[in-house]
Amino acid sequence: MIVKNEEKQIKDFLEHIYDCVDEIIIVDTGSSDDTKKIAATFPKVKTYDAQWENDFAKARNKSLKYAKGEWILVLDADERISKKDQAKISGLIKKERVTGFFLIQRNYTHDPHTRYFVSSYGDAYAESKPFLGWTEHHVVRLFQNKPEIFYCFKVHELVEPSIEAAQGKVKESEIPIHHYGHVDLKSVEKKFGMYAKICEQKCKDNPEDERAWFEHGINQLKLKKYKRAKDCFERVYVLNRMHPLVCAYLVEVYGLLQDAIGVISSFQRGVQSNPLDVHLYLNIGAIFFVNKKWKEAAKAYQQAIEVERKNSTAWFGAGMSYYHLGEQEKAKQALKQVLKLYPEHPKAKELLEKMG
């Protein structure tokens, strides 16, 4: 792991993973608090200092060099592996003859309207209970300790490219990484502020890299720098008109800029390039809704439902739109669908009760 000023959570993190591993390698990139002092109380921990050079991959790769084990598990201080899954990790590396494994990073959130939101209702993990849900993506965090496997990219760093280059084999696992770092909004804003500087330099160094521009656009959107985000996403579109996600983001950012022509143009481009992106319809539906164009909003949300019938945001948007149109039965049917997918949805329950 790489750390900086993690005194509030380093003890809990080390205690939770301690019995699962043979050694813990920490590369500290400039802590000014008691992070290293706390870590030093754990016999398995070896801490090394590294100057921060605005390069996450470089810091990660330094941590890999100190590892002695045959397998490496990479985690951050705001992440946890459930106790019941730690035994599964040991089983995976003994049984499977592969280079690495995808783990499922759950980014917990209290916002059910977050892109690709998954409700925590009925989830078996205690770690998910304090949150409304999460978004997730699969990332290789468990892999063999080999010199040809290393991290790439200064920000949003990955080992996957080096494994692919080495013709290694990666297998999916069902083990989640419980990530709590996106819940604290102040921490998220600070993190994205740092990411933005690195992403900007990455775009300057690699002006034809669509991935760099896309990451930069997302960071600018998180920082509410909408004009700059728009420019980044438009650059992605120039580099790759068939990019599967960029048009939905363009719809969103043009909406935030109150540019109706940009919204419609981006939506039309998206329908041509990726008509199955549910967020294309969710985003334009939200824009219509905010502008009280209930009929258009209802149509957009229905299109989203056709793409993804288990999307609670689409059903809720449709329900609210029908409610404002005075179509009570359609509104009730849609809101009941919301509660089937997300039984504790507070606004859906409230509106259904109001309608009787």
pLDDT at residue number 185: 60
> 96 pLDDT band (50/70/90 cuts)?
confident
Which tokens is 109 given?
Answer: 């959130």
For the stretch 299-336, pLDDT in tens is 999 999 999 998 989 999 999 999 999 999 999 999 99
Residue 339: exposure state from Cβ atoms within 10 A (0-12, 13-18, ≥19): middle
pLDDT at residue number 188: 61
In sequence order, the β-bridge partners of residue 103 are: 139
Per-residue pLDDT for 189 more than 80?
no
pLDDT at residue number 107: 94
More reliable by pLDDT, 189 or 75: 75
Residue 16: exposure state from Cβ atoms within 10 A (0-12, 13-18, ≥19): middle
Per-residue pLDDT for 190 more than 90?
no
Which tokens is 17 given?
Answer: 């993973």
What average pLDDT does the chain have?
Answer: 93
Strands of the chain (E only): list them: 2-3, 24-28, 45-49, 71-73, 79-80, 100-109, 118-119, 133-144, 170-179
> Which residue, 295, 288, 281, is CA-closest to 326?
295
Return the SS3 of 52.
Answer: coil
For the stretch 19-46, pLDDT in tens is 999 999 999 999 999 999 999 999 999 9
Which residue segments constitute the domains of the chain, with CATH numbers given?
2-179 (3.90.550.10), 276-356 (1.25.40.10)
pTM for the full predicted model = 0.77
Question: Of 154-163, 223-232, 286-295, 345-354, which range is least confident?
Answer: 345-354
More reliable by pLDDT, 299 or 115: 299
Question: Of 79-88, 130-139, 190-199, which range is least confident?
Answer: 190-199
Residue 292: exposure state from Cβ atoms within 10 A (0-12, 13-18, ≥19): exposed
The percent of residues above 70 in pLDDT, for the chain, comes to 97
For the stretch 272-301, pLDDT in tens is 999 999 999 999 999 999 999 999 999 999
> 121 pLDDT band (50/70/90 cuts)?
confident
